[in-house]
Amino acid sequence: MNENLFRLDGKVALVTGASYGIGFAIATAMAEAGATIVFNDIKQELVDKGIAAYAEQGIKAHGYVCDVTDEDAVNALVAKIEAEVGVIDILVNNAGIIKRIPMVEMSAKDFRQVIDVDLNAPFIVSKAVIPAMIKKGGGKIINICSMMSELGRETVSAYAAAKGGLKMLTRNIASEYGQYNIQCNGIGPGYIATPQTAPLQEPQPDGSKHPFDQFILAKTPANRWGDPADLGGPAVFLASPASDFVNGHILYVDGGILAYIGKQP
């Protein structure tokens, strides 16, 4: 096998919201495959922490403050990256939020905010990088989707609507820009241990497992939560020449959740 198929040498990768968590793990794997890493976060403090965390791994990452929901700020960020680092070859739309609120209790403002970060922002950032990718002759866009791109559950209506929409945005970018050698695919992580899911894993006051924690283990054939590092290999694959004819696909990295009815009681 030609190992260069999976190398990202000479490529510039922008991973949004990647100071920690899944974005950080994906960016780290891409750096190990040879890519130059650029990331953003909303606060300077987080960007500084991120740069230090990458440095600890021996990675010289370029960090910028930018709210991905702000179109002008995103356009300015992309221009700055092009001037200071180079044209973005790989975009990972990773930044995301969740609000766990029963639907009838959720305000329209909260619903819109989730849609804004989880769906509108990937549109805004993708739109900002595609013209330079076309000019350069190609590029890779990876949208971080979710189990909720396929499934619903109590309290996550806005998140599920956004991640379901992101699946279709992925397919549409692939449909519209595949002719320019741009591949746009999604990764649908299962339940991954990060600050976003920490409230679902907190032990009970008596020391027993959180009921949601037990529920996830019973739903996951792998019988464990995912680790952010589990997303590294799939992300490198979708960013590399190995996936040049893979387009509009959602790669679920879920320990088997979507294949399984769940452990019988």
Site for ligand GCO, rule CB under 6 A: 98, 100, 146-148, 153, 156, 159, 189-191, 196-197
Task: For residues 190 and 254, give the distance between their C-alpha atoms in angstroms, rounded to a whole number.
Answer: 4
**Given 64, 159, 177, 252, which residue is catalytic?**
159
Q: Considering the complex, what minimum distance in angstroms separates the CB of residue 206 from ligand NAP?
A: 25
Name the residue nearer to ligand NAP (CB basis): 42 or 229: 42
**Spatial contact of 11 and 35, defined as CB atoms under 8 Å apart:** yes
Select the binding partner of residue 156 from ligand GCO, ligand NAP, none (C-beta < 5 to 8 A, by kind). Answer: ligand GCO
Residue type at position 132: A
Q: Considering the complex, what minimum distance in angstroms separates the CB of residue 77 from ligand NAP?
A: 10
Task: For residues 25 and 97, give the distance between their C-alpha atoms in angstroms, rounded to a whole number.
Answer: 17
Alpha helices in 102-149 (DSSP H): 108-115, 121-136
159 is catalytic: yes
- Binding segment for ligand NAP (CB under 6 A), chosen from 74-82, 169-177, 193-201, 257-265, is 193-201
Q: Considering the complex, what minimum distance in angstroms separates the CB of residue 23 from ligand NAP?
A: 6
Element (H, E) at 55: helix 44-56
- Binding segment for ligand NAP (CB under 6 A), chosen from 12-20, 80-88, 214-222, 233-241, is 12-20
Q: Considering the complex, what minimum distance in angstroms separates the CB of residue 13 from ligand NAP?
A: 15
Binding of ligand NAP by 153 (CB under 6 A)? no
* DSSP codes, 99-114: ----GGG--HHHHHHH
28, 36, 126, 146: which one contacts ligand NAP (CB under 6 A)? 146
181 alpha carbon, distance to own chain's centre: 21
Q: Considering the complex, what minimum distance in angstroms separates the CB of residue 3 from ligand NAP?
A: 28
Q: Which two tokens stand for residue 48?
A: 């500084």
Task: For residues 150 and 146, give the distance between their C-alpha atoms in angstroms, rounded to a whole number.
Answer: 8
- Binding segment for ligand NAP (CB under 6 A), chosen from 53-61, 62-70, 76-84, 178-186, is 62-70
The CA dihedral of 44, 48, 50, 51, to the nearest 10 degrees, is: 130
- Residue 143 falls in which region: left (phi positive, over 0), alpha (psi -120 to 50) or beta: beta
Residue 7, C-beta contacts closer than 8 angstroms, at least 6 positions apart:
33, 34, 240, 241
Name the residue nearer to ligand GCO (CB basis): 190 or 228: 190
Q: Which residues bind ligand NAP (CB under 6 A)?
A: 16-17, 19-23, 40-43, 46, 67-69, 94-97, 117, 144, 146, 189, 191-192, 194-197
Residues tagged active-site: 159
